[in-house]
Amino acid sequence: MSPPAGRLAAASAVSVLVLVATAPVAAGQDSTSVVGGERLGRPAVQVAPLAGAPALPAALSGRSWLVADADTGEVLAAQNAHLPLPPASTLKMLFADTVMTKFDRAEVHQVTQGELAELGAGSSLVGVKENLPYRVEDLWRGVFLSSGNDAVHVLAHMNGGIAQTVAEMQARANALQARDTKVVSPDGYDMDGQVSSAYDLTLFARAGLRIPDFRSYCSTRTAQFPGGLDKLTGQRTSFDIANTDRLLGKYPGLIGVKNGYTTNAGATFTGAAERNGRTLLVTVMHPAAQGKVYDEAASLLDWGFAAAGKVQPVGQLVDDTAPVTAANTPTAPSGTAPGAAGARPEAARREGHDPGPATWTAAALVAALVLWAAGRAVTRRRNPAAEAATTGSTRTSGSTGTGRRRLARRARALVHGARTRTRR
């Protein structure tokens, strides 16, 4: 015996509720998948040579490395691309990508004692002094050329403090789909639990290079940095600073971007170079010796340029889901724990492409109401006497049509209301 129409309608409504409620998850990336492609999750060297492809450099000692095309995002070769490791000062790329667009480079800031009070022992410093004014552009040169943690801390305090900046950096990493990254400090100083990966650092470099000031600072070889006050004249002094990136100015076509070294991380390096209209990105983390990070990065760049058109990609640098602009810098709400913000791009929510929980709930209710009404209509057609006994009158086809129209209006109102609330 077939089940009553009402039960079928109820079962169908439940099914639709489940399907609608899970639709956003199905539309997104599977949480168990590897960002950039399954091969990038494997531990061994990943490369797919074609005929005539050059051999990878011998004796690569980095625990993790990756070389990719900056324009297409194709990963040409990698090893342990998603291995979480301490990032050292290469994490400053994420800091710059998160904060740089918030302040005009000509803005002047008076440094306070408190802004320099929480620097880790042994931090790399550019020489920022308390109670003196600094232009924002000078502070950024201190970040990129001297890897100055003091300059990072001043900019972080300008941005609302260390905790807020860390939360915003984590949100920015989330928007870039940099899932291997856990931010604890804005400067990359060794902290428990702070990690990133060759894949994520390459994402940070690729995103940062799209910001003109970022590209300018990371490619600057030398600059004058403001000093203290001359005791005799009372005038402000200055001194030379030089970029600590040993490949800048030596490797042909090198653009930047950032090097680093700490006790836990060893040496880390992410670089970008351009040759014959093609730009490559390379990241090397924790080689056998500190100086090898530059040699291995240079050899991987050489290989990448030579391998053009002779290898198949083994993965892909994913696209930025929330591009940073002056008017749309990803931020974490006050009191939000690091990593909790930035799960979905704000621009998509504003344009209505991402319906949000309220709209999905309304849609589920609408589907359930429609199926319930259909079941009721079938039951009434099959048993009008029972319907009349229940309601006290026999409904005509006209009154049934009126009820359906009322239900449709109610459904549209539910969806409209949910969308309105979502966009506020």
Residues labelled as active-site residues = 89, 92, 147
CA 135 to chain centroid, in Å, comes to 28
Helix (H) or strand (E) holding 181: none
Burial of 215 from C-beta contacts in 10 A (0-12 / 13-18 / 19+)? middle
Q: Which of 170, 175, 176, 177 is nearest to 31 (CA)?
A: 177
* Gap between the Cα atoms of 387 and 404, Å rounded: 16
* Strand 236-242 to 222-229 pairing: antiparallel
* Two tokens, residue 185: 């400090």
Q: How far apart are CA 22 and CA 16, in angstroms?
A: 10
Q: Which amino acid, one-letter code, is at 278?
A: R
Distance between CA atoms of residues 179 and 167, nearest Å: 15
- State the Cα angle at 244 between 243 and 247, rounded to 5°: 90
Host H or E run for residue 270 = strand 266-275
Spatial distance between the Cα atoms of 78 and 65, rounded to a whole number of angstroms: 6
Q: How far apart are CA 386 and CA 118, in angstroms?
A: 78
